[in-house]
Amino acid sequence: MIDTKEIIKDFPILDREIGGHKLVYLDNAATSQKPRAVIDAISHYYEHYNANVHRGIHTMSEEATAAYEEVREKIAAFIGADNTCEIIYTRNTTEAINLVAYSWGRQNVLPGDEIVLTPMEHHSNLVPWQQLAAEREAKLVFLELTEDGQVNMESARSLIGPKTRLVALTAMSNVLGTIVPVREIADIAHAAGAVVLVDGAQSVPHLPTSVKEMGCDFLAFSFHKMLGPTGTGILWGKKELLEAMPPFMFGGDMISSVAREKSRFNELPWKFEAGTPNIADVIASGAAIDYLSKLGMENVRRHEVEITRYALEKLGSLKDIVIYGPKDAEKRGGVIAFNIDGLHPHDLGQILSDSGIAIRAGHHCCQPLMKDLKVMGTARASFYIYNTTAEVDLLAAALEEADKVLGHVAVR
């Protein structure tokens, strides 16, 4: 089991006080905090072997290249990929999805084809497909959700068919917390001849991940949500698909040779990695993988199920609160979106901030889902490895204090 008291010691920022209150950080679905090991890895690179990768024969360049490429091996092991050439460095999940939309999509999506999505998709896994569909005269099709925010599998079986070219879906909703049955949907998609892209931005940091068990063709995720720095993301894709795709950007490092009139492109994975990369933060992302691997992703998941179950019960005891998504903690991630009758989520976020509690408030880059829920936005508390049930108690107490100020919240 995770020893949260010991974990907290590894995160310098968690010692911070805000307004005289010890920080309670419950905005992990937006970005996670960073352990000392990750922070030190960035400093160590700049202090000891700051050099460009792949291009130098001097000692520091060779050291930087070795450290940079070693992370690719760690990532492959972490997600169960067969080959490091399938691991493409990007800036974030959004860029990884756009890479697929531009490079694979514009080669393979034809007029009349259908792109199937869920209503829970983050804008990053919706807007690129809107643009592609408009350009290629394709159609967007949306699966249905059950009343408690899970994918209606009957709709998946009926809507995914011969016209489906791509199924792009989140593995875990950043609003509802819903854990999507990716493998079951992927099997349906593949039987129809479609390709499957998974947005793993919320799932990879919190669940044991195997691209083989998922059965997907592409997986995108970001390190800043899993203890790593910002500006580092990953696209995993099946080798045969990536080899058939043209480069996403052009310039240095993605070429094998250049003449005045034409160029030959590099092999995988470098043909998708033009220009000087985010070397320090990629190396530090390796430290984040090491940290999570030492804890064990099964233990990370177990901790979050326990704290989410506690939070659902604790927050559910408040009057006039609406909690969105599955009621069973086993069927959702550590994300709880909620509203309190008569209180705007932005006001709620500010009140909690005054108590040192950081949550998210707004539409969470899921405006179509908010429309389906018939709300403008929600408040959202999201948990990670350093959060405790005591912090959930503080959240609930702050909501009760808001009742005294605004008269909207009371314990039943």
Q: What is the 3-class SS of 119-152, one letter each residue?
A: CCCCHHHCHHHHHHHHHHCCEEEECCECCCCCEC
pLDDT digits (tens, 9 = 90+) for 312-340: 999 999 988 999 999 999 999 999 999 99
The conformational region for residue 248 under phi > 0 = left, psi -120 to 50 = alpha, else beta, is: alpha
Task: Tell me where in the chain the CATH 3.90.1150.10 domain(s) lie.
Answer: 4-30+296-406
In this prediction, residue 410 carries a pLDDT of: 44
Backbone φ and ψ of 294, nearest 5°? -65, -40
Quick one: which of 144, 161, 142 has its CA closest to 153?
144
Task: Tell me where in the chain the CATH 3.40.640.10 domain(s) lie.
Answer: 39-293
Give domain 4-30+296-406's CATH architecture: Alpha-Beta Complex (3.90)
User: Which are the contacts of 146, defined by CB distance < 8 A and separation ≥ 6?
Assistant: 152
Asked if the bond preceding 269 is cis, omega within 30° of 0, the reply is yes
Return the sign of the alpha-carbon dihedral for residues 238, 244, 250, 252.
positive
Q: Whole-prediction pTM value?
A: 0.95
Q: Residue 319 and residue 341: Cα distance in Å, rounded?
A: 9
Distance spanning both ends of the chain, measured CA to CA: 33
In this prediction, residue 403 carries a pLDDT of: 65
Q: Residue 268 and residue 270: Cα distance in Å, rounded?
A: 5
Q: Residue 113 and residue 161: Cα distance in Å, rounded?
A: 10
Residue bearing the bigger pLDDT, 341 or 110: 110
Fold of the domain spanning 39-293: Aspartate Aminotransferase; domain 2 (3.40.640)
Quick one: which of 227, 239, 225, 222 has its CA closest to 278?
222
Packing angle, helices 345-354 and 389-406, rounded to 10: 110
Helix (H) or strand (E) holding 205: none
pLDDT digits (tens, 9 = 90+) for 231-257: 999 999 999 999 999 998 999 888 889
- What token pair was written down for 316? 């559910």
Quick one: which of 208, 354, 223 has its CA closest to 281?
223
Return the sign of the alpha-carbon dihedral for residues 69, 70, 71, 75.
positive
Helices of type H across 296-409: 297-316, 345-354, 367-373, 389-406
pLDDT digits (tens, 9 = 90+) for 4-55: 999 999 999 999 999 899 999 999 999 999 999 999 999 999 999 999 999 7
pLDDT digits (tens, 9 = 90+) for 198-240: 999 999 999 999 999 999 999 999 999 999 999 999 999 999 9
Q: How many other C-beta atoms lie within 10 A of the C-beta of residue 314?
A: 16
Residues serving a catalytic function are 365
**Strand, coil or helix: 189:** helix
- What token pair was written down for 401? 């204090």
